[in-house]
């Protein structure tokens, strides 16, 4: 049984040669992290978490504003950016660490649809117009859902299932379920 290290490095986690009940690992099972890699994630301000996208999201653990992570930057960096406050979105900071300064006219779109995700490969650099188009296609919310599944979700809700229960069944976020139920994504024609 192979499992990737939860730090996000992409390397396989080692298999335990004995049982460690203190940390909940049995002999033959993979550890959560490669040795010392757990320090990478906790010290960087994010934790890996499966939120239903193709790979684990890196969920920001610090301050959040409207669901987006925020982090401090130096006053010098703030002045270079033409900002009055010395903080930026955490996902922008992480993307820029890997790719360099983001052009001011561009936007970072979360492919995973998780505002608090800071994983650079979950972010797509797009124009404002492209971002609007992405958000109006109606099927960008989850790579795991199809129109057929969206219709199943509507039926489950009509049968009395809660958003939480349905979200767990399809391994997606509650907000995705709500958007389907409210006909904002995976839309169906409603004729009256």
* Per-residue model confidence as pLDDT tens digits over 47-72: 888 877 788 889 998 888 888 998 88
Residue 51 belongs to a domain: no
Structural domain tally of the chain?
Answer: 3
More confident residue, 192 or 48: 48
C-alpha–C-alpha distance, residues 167 and 8, integer Å: 24
Model pTM score: 0.52
pLDDT digits (tens, 9 = 90+) for 14-35: 999 999 887 778 899 998 878 8
Instruction: Report the mean per-residue pLDDT for the chain.
Output: 82
Q: Mapped to the 3 state alphabet, what secondary structure does 2-35 carry?
A: CCECCCCCCCECCECCCCECCCCECCCCECCCCC
Three-state secondary structure call for residue 91: helix
- 53 within some domain: no
% residues pLDDT > 70 (the chain): 88
Same domain, 123 and 76: yes
Tell me the residue range of the domain where 186 lies.
Answer: 137-192
pLDDT band with cut points at 50, 70 and 90 for residue 120: very high
Please indicate, yes or no, if residue 55 is contained in any of the structural domains: no
Mean pLDDT of 117-140: 80
172 and 128 within one domain? no
**CATH code of residue 181:** 1.10.10
56 domain-assigned: no
pLDDT reported for residue 95? 93
User: Is 124 found in the same domain as 152?
Assistant: no
The answer to the question of residue 59 being in a domain is: no
* pLDDT at position 139: 47
**Confidence bin at 121 (pLDDT 50/70/90):** very high
Last residue of a domain, one of 136, 161, 182: 136
CB 109 within 8 Å of CB 122: no
């Amino acid at each position: 049984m192979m499992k990737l290290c939860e730090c996000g490095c992409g390397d396989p986690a080692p298999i335990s040669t004995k049982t460690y009940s203190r940390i909940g690992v049995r002999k033959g099972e993979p550890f959560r992290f490669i040795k010392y890699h757990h320090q990478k994630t906790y010290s960087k301000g994010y934790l890996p978490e499966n939120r239903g996208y193709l790979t684990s999201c890196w969920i920001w653990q610090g301050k959040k504003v409207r669901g987006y992570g925020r982090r401090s930057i130096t006053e010098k960096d703030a002045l270079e950016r033409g900002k009055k406050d010395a903080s930026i979105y955490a996902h922008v900071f992480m993307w820029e660490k890997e790719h360099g300064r983001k052009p001011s006219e561009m936007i970072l779109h979360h492919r995973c649809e998780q505002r608090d995700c800071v994983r650079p490969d979950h972010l797509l650099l797009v124009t404002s117009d492209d971002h609007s188009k992405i958000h109006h296609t109606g099927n960008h919310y989850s790579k795991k859902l199809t129109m057929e599944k969206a219709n199943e979700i509507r039926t489950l809700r009509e049968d009395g299932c809660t958003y939480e229960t349905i979200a767990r069944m399809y391994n997606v976020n509650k907000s995705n379920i709500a958007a389907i139920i409210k006909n904002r994504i995976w839309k169906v024609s409603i004729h009256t």
